[in-house]
Amino acid sequence: MVKIKHRQFRVPILSRQWISRAFRSLLVCFLTANAFALIFAQERAGRTLTPLQFEIQKQRERLSAADVEERRDAVMRLKALRHPDASRVAVSALKDNLAIVRATATSAVLKLPSEEAAESLIPLLDDKDEFVRQEAAYALGQTRSRTAVAPLIERLAGDKKDGVRGAAAVALGQIADEAAVVSLAQTLSPQIGLPGSRKSKRKPNELVLRVAAHSLGQIASRAGVPALVATLEDEKAPDDVRREAAFALGQIGDPSARQALQRVLSARDPYLSFAAKKALRRISATP
């Protein structure tokens, strides 16, 4: 028989100091692994945002900055993104404590659906700052929302600042709702007694008059013809306003304006004569 000799192994006796060092090393490795896992998870979560979402989030955070120029720049960058999500973030800037930021934000919310944008902008028509009211009116015209017609008519009739009234008139022309005709006609020619009109003691502003005539042409309602004809025939009215009235009558295309337009063909203002000729051609071409 073959005898197998067994080797004897000696198990080393580990000192407490060695065990302590090994435990600390394992603990460091464990914590380091957890830290890297956390960093990786955060980076992975960040990569789930699209570049657009990342930029919107970045500008959202800047809207709460202490520096006014940084907040304003954030609003402008949100506008430049031209996306509904960016506009929705910009809505909060409409309530900024500084007028310049509120005014800048009025055009930054225009990528929202029409009614949503109008709903956010209408309160600014009552803003204490003239520039904010003016910019809000311009922005409302771009929404084309009929919800804004009544508030804009109130600004046109009652605001103390001509800049705001002019902006309201522009917006009403862009929206092109016939509900605005009476107010625009009364603004243009206060002496014409139209149903629902009210007399105004305010001295007419030439820019507001021009815009009112232009907007009546955009709306193209025959209800605006009497005021436009009266303006066209008023030799004391500014030339620019009379020209705008002639162009507006051409846009409306009502044959009842033909005689008034023919009478100004020999006007001293050659541009008015040209406008009248062009309007008559359009009326003749109207079915």
Mean pLDDT, the chain cut into blocks of 10 residues (287 residues total): 50 57 62 54 62 96 97 98 97 97 98 98 98 98 98 96 97 98 94 56 84 98 97 94 97 96 94 96 86
First vs last Cα of the chain: how many Å apart? 128
Closest CA to 276 of 252, 253, 249: 249
Taking the CA of residue 107 as centre, how many other CA atoms within 13 Å lie in the half-sphere pointing to its CB? 12
Query: Are the beta carbons of 156 and 168 closer than 8 angstroms?
Result: yes
Q: In Å, how far are 113, 140, 156, 166, 271 from 110, measured between CA atoms?
A: 8, 9, 22, 20, 37
Q: What is the pLDDT of residue 286?
A: 76
**10: which DSSP letter?**
P
**192: which DSSP letter?**
S
233: which 2 tokens?
A: 């025939």
Closest CA to 157 of 117, 128, 190: 190
84: Cβ contacts below 8 Å, ≥ 6 apart: 111, 112, 113
User: Cα separation of 19 and 249, whole Å?
Assistant: 99
Helix 239-252 to helix 270-285 angle (10° resolution) is 10
Closest CA to 231 of 208, 213, 211, 205: 213
Q: What is the pLDDT of residue 192?
A: 66
Taking the CA of residue 121 as centre, how many other CA atoms within 13 Å lie in the half-sphere pointing to its CB? 38
213 sits in which H/E element:
helix 206-219
Query: Are the beta carbons of 49 and 58 closer than 8 angstroms?
Result: no
Query: Are the beta carbons of 80 and 56 closer than 8 angstroms?
Result: no
Give the total residue count for the chain: 287
pTM given for the model: 0.80
**266: which DSSP letter?**
T
Q: Which CATH class is domain 53-112?
A: mainly alpha
Closest CA to 119 of 93, 72, 151: 151
Burial class (CB in 10 A: 0-12, 13-18, 19+), 129: middle
User: What's the one-letter identity of residue 239?
Assistant: D
